Amino acid sequence: MNNAPVIRIHPADDVVIARRQLLSGTVLPGEGVTVSGLIPPGHKVAVHAIPAGAPVRRYNQVIGSAKQDIAPGQHVHSHNLEFSHVALDYAVGQGLHATDYVDTPATFDGIVRADGRIATRNYIGVLTSVNCSATVARAIADHFRRDIHPEALARYPNVDGVVALTHGSGCATDSAGEPLQVLRRTLGGYTRHPNFAAILVVGLGCETNQIEGLMAQEGLASGTTLHSFNIQDTGGTSRSVAHGIELVQWLLDDANRVKRQPVSASHITVGLQCGGSDGYSGISANPALGAAVDRLVRHGGTAILSETPETPEIYGGEHLLTRRAVSSDVADKLLARIRWWERYCARNDAEMDNNPSAGNKAGGLTTILEKSLGAIAKSGTTNLVDVVEYAQPVTAHGLVFMDTPGYDPVSATGQVAGGANLICFTTGRGSAYGCAPSPSLKLSTNTALWQRQEDDIDINCGEIVDGSASIDEMGERIFRLMLEAASGRKTKSELHGYGQNEFVPWSLGAVM
């Protein structure tokens, strides 16, 4: 265990981070500073005098400017630190380096579909074209819930479940506009997802998002694993539920025939998420996840970093990614999405710097710059190979950026639609989250959270803060846990039944 009262991230930083609650008068060894006032755990302490208006650095990057004179040993937070625009040097490609791929990739026990796609789970999905068909879809899936009707899937041990993924849109929107295209792209991505053995799409019949239009846009065709029907054509709610149950029952025999077999880790695509971040996120769980991502990429796998805007992963830190972009085209695509979000926020009278949230601030994060810089650590150190829009298929191997909102369920929904068959979710304040059909691993940033909410957390990265594990050691443990989860080991969120209600496609544009 490390008993030092604070953590220094970089020699050039103006602040250090409290490892535990610090009382006034505490002397900080090696800093020559005495604490003035109470400093909560995870919060910042000034290590020298900072004049009003001066930039404040953490991670050797500017996280804001002093609102007033700050004395050595004082608490640095929202009362004396504010967001400030920073001129960023994008230095495209200057941080590129060759990836040291392993000769023999690690393996996991995956499910090989008939067309060669690799799955980490084996579900039957019930999707909806419109909110109006959500009740029918849920009733169909509920018939097969193991916690309600344990006998329904007793004969199908290789089926992970039947899940209804419903949403609140699909009508009252422009029939040729971007909002409907994005919704259809999302539904299409889920329909093609290898973690589904089969899909039912349930519509009402008169909605804007006609099933035929969805199928045409996404190049889908009805067959043995894709079925669809409308409530109005089937004869109402009761008959539609009965028809859906009958279809699922018919599909279960084929779905149950799968067997897991060793496949390369190159078939893992992990979506990177963080929610309820705190002052330790950029010190423990995020860089540890980044170390695991580096390992996954070296084994041929793929990681998707997301969350561009207001509750972001990258806003204010995008220069750290452009330096790793494999081409100016990739960097330009990333910067184009930043500019899109600035225009989008301006149209909606929102501010790109209107975050961190209340929970983030309570955990020690003050500005969006500070939050973003810590969040980017999840991406590791490998090259940025591609940038895609929301729910677009991810086809490149390596680190990919997907443009999504910062709201975690919306962001992860886009990642899964793009092909993520695993989610890794870091949290400092505590999160209860799952993401069917892809398993979701949750990583705590501090040991206090692990002890308080172990019921929801899969691995404790607070050992890094405690000094009992290094970032690299924890990265190796996370990578091995990824392989286990991909092989079928149930995550905490799966054991609790999370995953259906967290399907939240990005709702763009006007509702008319």
Same domain, 313 and 344: yes
Task: Tell whether 91 is covered by a domain.
Answer: no
Reduce the DSSP state of residue 393 to 3 states and report it.
coil
How many domains does one find in the chain? 3
Task: Give the 3-state DSSP-derived string for 401-457, with helices as H, strands as E and coil as C.
Answer: EECCCCCHHHHHHHHHHCCCCEEEEEECCCCCCCCCCCCEEEEECCHHHHHHHCCCC
Q: What is the CATH number of the domain that holds 211?
A: 3.40.1400
Task: Tell whether 184 is covered by a domain.
Answer: yes
Length of the chain, please? 512
Same domain, 254 and 133: yes
Task: Tell whether 64 is covered by a domain.
Answer: yes
Task: Tell whether 21 is covered by a domain.
Answer: yes
Same domain, 222 and 290: no
Same domain, 124 and 236: yes
Same domain, 124 and 243: yes
Nearest CA to 424 out of 358, 492, 361, 370 is that of: 492
Phi/psi of residue 376, nearest 5 degrees: -60, -25
What pLDDT does 312 receive?
45
Residue carrying structure tokens 């172990």: 454
What is the value of pTM for the model shown? 0.95
What pLDDT does 314 receive?
64
> Do residues 500 and 164 lie in contact, with contact meaning Cβ atoms separated by under 8 Å?
yes
Same domain, 233 and 346: no
What pLDDT does 124 receive?
98
Instruction: Calculate the alpha carbon distances from 67 to 159, 410, 429 in Å.
Output: 57, 34, 27
> Do residues 307 and 405 lie in contact, with contact meaning Cβ atoms separated by under 8 Å?
yes
- The string of pLDDT tens digits covering residues 413-437 is 999 999 999 999 999 999 889 999 9
CA terminus-to-terminus distance, the chain: 59
Same domain, 11 and 133: no
Instruction: For residue 269, list its beta bridge partners.
Output: 302
Cα 395 from Cα 199, distance rounded (Å)? 22
Instruction: Calculate the alpha carbon distances from 354 to 82, 154, 431 in Å.
Output: 11, 49, 21
Same domain, 281 and 401: yes
Question: What is the span of the domain harbouring residue 186?
Answer: 109-259
Same domain, 393 and 437: yes
Reduce the DSSP state of residue 356 to 3 states and report it.
coil
Nearest CA to 274 out of 115, 449, 141 is that of: 449
Same domain, 384 and 467: yes
Give every CB contact of residue 358 below 8 A, 6+ residues apart in sequence: none
Residue carrying structure tokens 């589904």: 196
What is the chain's alpha carbon radius of gyration, rounded to the nearest angstrom? Answer: 24
Residues of the chain with pLDDT below 70 are: 1, 309-315, 352-355
Task: Give the 3-state DSSP-derived string for 110-140, with helices as H, strands as E and coil as C.
Answer: EEECCCCCEECCCEEEEEECCHHHHHHHHHH
Cα 6 from Cα 214, distance rounded (Å)? 54
Q: Which of 212, 237, 259 is the last residue of a domain?
A: 259
Reduce the DSSP state of residue 368 to 3 states and report it.
helix
Same domain, 361 and 394: yes
Cα 326 from Cα 96, distance rounded (Å)? 7
Nearest CA to 371 out of 44, 5, 73, 119 is that of: 44
Cα 31 from Cα 498, distance rounded (Å)? 45
Task: Tell whether 279 is covered by a domain.
Answer: yes
Give every CB contact of residue 321 below 8 A, 6+ residues apart in sequence: 305, 314, 331, 334, 376, 379, 384, 401
Cα 14 from Cα 272, distance rounded (Å)? 29
Task: Tell whether 508 is covered by a domain.
Answer: no
> Do residues 126 and 191 lie in contact, with contact meaning Cβ atoms separated by under 8 Å?
no
Same domain, 231 and 307: no
What pLDDT does 395 receive?
97
Cα 217 from Cα 182, distance rounded (Å)? 11
Phi/psi of residue 325, nearest 5 degrees: -70, 135
Residue carrying structure tokens 């103006």: 14
Cα 400 from Cα 286, distance rounded (Å)? 17
* DSSP 8-class letter at 369: H
Output the six-digit token pair for 345: 């926020």
Task: Tell whether 203 is covered by a domain.
Answer: yes
List, as one string, the DSSP characters of 283-327.
TTHHHHHHHHHHHHHHTT-EEEE---SSS-SSTTTTHHHHTTBSS
> Do residues 345 and 351 lie in contact, with contact meaning Cβ atoms separated by under 8 Å?
yes
Task: Tell whether 385 is covered by a domain.
Answer: yes
In this structure, which amino acid lies at residue 409? P
Instruction: Calculate the alpha carbon distances from 189 to 12, 194, 320, 403, 421 in Å.
Output: 45, 10, 29, 15, 12
What pLDDT does 317 receive?
79
Q: What is the CATH number of the domain that holds 13?
A: 2.30.130.110
